A and B are shown apart, each in its own frame.
Chain A
């Protein structure tokens, strides 16, 4: 232990005795022993609570998760496939000022990515103008030729997005990954909040935290706005959530969202396509389906069009989609925009379509297709994080500093064999935050995944999923790799008046969409 680390430990209060500060940005402490203003009240509360009380609260919370069945499935592990998603009781707090910047930055980014998707599946201006290399797009694993020239409802490709942000040592947020296909985790955001409100009610009230509970409502309104033009009941389209089934790792979330939105949760075997129209099999016969919030990957959606061996999908679904008889959220082929090599070009993409400078920065990324980049990475593998471009969930990664020589050799060979399939980034010092470990407070590395819903306008629910690398010193936050999560509190402050007006407007929008039929009629007669 270095001298500074030691002195940092000595100046901290007793239950924080194991709290380590290193080069990473710490969410709670600006300098050893001095907590940032927005964490002060939490620290006071923690100092007053006995470790035993904290431990009991944690147990009660774990039990609540187990009883409610808030679990996820770990692939490839033998013992009981259901596991609770570890929850850490101490909230992660984001002041209003910082959140405003995140909100603006993500809105900008998603707007640009959506324009990008429309462009590459239509005219392809951005490749003609040589802003993004043509072969980069067409060599994307998730590029879908089938989508060329297809008009998606309202030109919205990405209705739901979960972007991973990290905070760099200088305190700025940077985008680590865009998840534009089927991002998950939002149910844990809502479940964490429910539990935290039970454990720290007064603290929660006194802090003035923005609610997140309206997420399902916002999502439903957005999905409904995607109704196909020739849908028989435009004002009340039949919306369903398509799940791969009970063995999917996010099954809990699928059931939770379907229930909270009051829509049908269907599996592929519940649906069938006849004459390019999608139906579901009900006890009173077949019912037409208009909008599908699909949590099934592109590859498995339609065995006639994509992966022929898929039994999760619906044969003929893609043709019904092309015929404009059913809408999908997200659209097919969005994965091309969250490809980890395309990611390196997102700042350029933002400048190209919006003529603005990106508000949120990217993490420096090395493309293995560039000989100079490749050589630099191969020479410094033990300092790099190497990622497969089309993977997510922490699978297919090499974390240089924690790797063995053998793993590095293996990745070196893989990179040389398929350079297009890999990118590398310098190992980031993710910011750290206080976590409750065995009744004491310790620091662990975290990231942040806010959820963005895009209808006619872009909406961010103030909050998100803060994922925690619960293993000491670990930098991997994925649930499949021993990560947990904690509640994220976005604080209200004086300057949020503008957003309040947005909230009211949103309420009115929802009201208007609920009054749909009469509103539609007025339109016709006027």
Chain B
């Protein structure tokens, strides 16, 4: 047998630890996204159901439409039947974004890459999946729904805790974080966009009455009520809420925080895979710089809605760039390089 090395012997001489399988990276990324989506939807629906108890029926109908819009779900025709609507958002398997579908898809993604995660991670997500699949909507389901949503958010927190504690914080872990925070930045901006387009209150003044409930609802949607009160007391001023949810660098459910995490994950992945100079890192870096130098007065002057729309556009671009550089690159360019 000839010992002459094949022609392209030296083309790709990597150290062993560099780069993970593209398919695996993509599964971890999507798992992160779907689980975040499930948690987000669970939070929004739960807050909505709580508000529903406090509100007059006319106002309630408006809120339901808002919920659909905030979740980027297809709008309902005609009068809204809350029970049916909640069932679609929570249980429907034909709705790919329902909580149950998201958890099933997250689990399916992890199942495809089980050897990449720790056994405890798999057990936790599998258990969450089995618990959720066991649930069957009954007639008075909505009144007892609190426990259900609690189960989902707790299950997701526990999964992320186990992930942090038992998985190496290497490339795979970074892809999970990347998926999680790309999804959070995306869902968060959609929610804020919908809210700020709807509310026409004076941004400087404290709000009261029914409006107060709406703003508190928004904070609760982002698990931000307590954190907000700590910083600004329970007096709700829309401008402060906007600043807190968009620009706060320390609060995990702010746009700024999510973009920071996306950026950090992309930089680390870029360094690990020797692709730091590529497109996704550049877009994320630009977005991060933009948000970190933004001021709320300026944003409000130029329109919160337009500002958020730009952020969301960048998120979409980051997503396609990740796909193009890490998951689904053309083989020809790699072999030629």
A283 to B113, CA, bound (A): 15
**Tally of contacts, chain A with chain B, CB under 8 A:** 114
Which of B1-9, B75-83, B226-234, B236-244 sits within the interface? B1-9
Residues in B neighbouring A269, C-beta threshold 8 A: 23
Residues in B neighbouring A283, C-beta threshold 8 A: 19-22, 25, 171, 269, 273, 275, 326-327
A281 touches B23 (CB 8 A): yes
> Interface on chain A toward B: helix, strand, loop, or mixed SS?
mixed
- Decide yes or no whether B135 CB sits under 8 A from chain A: no
Smallest CB separation, B336 vs chain A (Å): 11
B1 touches A233 (CB 8 A): no
- Decide yes or no whether B126 CB sits under 8 A from chain A: yes
Among residues of A, the one whose C-beta sits closest to the C-beta of B110 is A69
A285 to B171, CA, bound (A): 14
B21 touches A280 (CB 8 A): yes
A282 touches B21 (CB 8 A): yes
Cβ-neighbour of A267 out of B23, B127, B272, B337 (below 8 A): B23
B334 touches A324 (CB 8 A): no
Q: CB-defined interface of A376-401 with B at 8 Å, one 1/0 digit per residue? A: 00000000000000000000000000
A276 touches B119 (CB 8 A): no
B6 touches A276 (CB 8 A): yes
A281 touches B16 (CB 8 A): no
B6 touches A285 (CB 8 A): no
Interface residue ranges of A232-246 to B (CB < 8 Å): 232-233, 236, 238, 246
Smallest CB separation, A517 vs chain B (Å): 12
Q: How large is the interface on B (under 10, 10 to 19, 20 to 34, 35 or more residues)?
A: 35 or more
A279 touches B12 (CB 8 A): yes
A246 touches B112 (CB 8 A): yes
- Decide yes or no whether B59 CB sits under 8 A from chain A: no
A252 to B126, CA, bound (A): 14
Smallest CB separation, B280 vs chain A (Å): 11
Residues in A neighbouring B319, C-beta threshold 8 A: none
Smallest CB separation, B125 vs chain A (Å): 10
Cβ-neighbour of B114 out of A69, A270, A272 (below 8 A): A69
Known contacts A267-B23, A277-B6; A287 and B12 CB within 8 A of each other? yes
- Decide yes or no whether A422 CB sits under 8 A from chain B: no
Among residues of B, the one whose C-beta sits closest to the C-beta of A66 is B130
Among residues of B, the one whose C-beta sits closest to the C-beta of A266 is B21
Q: CB-defined interface of A253-292 with B at 8 Å, one 1/0 digit per residue? A: 0111011000011110110101111011111111110000
- Decide yes or no whether B309 CB sits under 8 A from chain A: no
- Decide yes or no whether B94 CB sits under 8 A from chain A: no
A258 to B115, CA, bound (A): 6
- Decide yes or no whether B87 CB sits under 8 A from chain A: no
Q: List 7 A-B contacts (CB under 8 A).
A: A67-B130, A69-B114, A269-B23, A270-B23, A277-B6, A284-B14, A284-B19
Query: What 11 new A-B contacts, CB under 8 Å, besides A264-B21, A285-B12, A288-B12?
Result: A230-B5, A252-B114, A255-B115, A265-B115, A277-B9, A282-B21, A283-B326, A285-B19, A285-B273, A287-B18, A325-B6
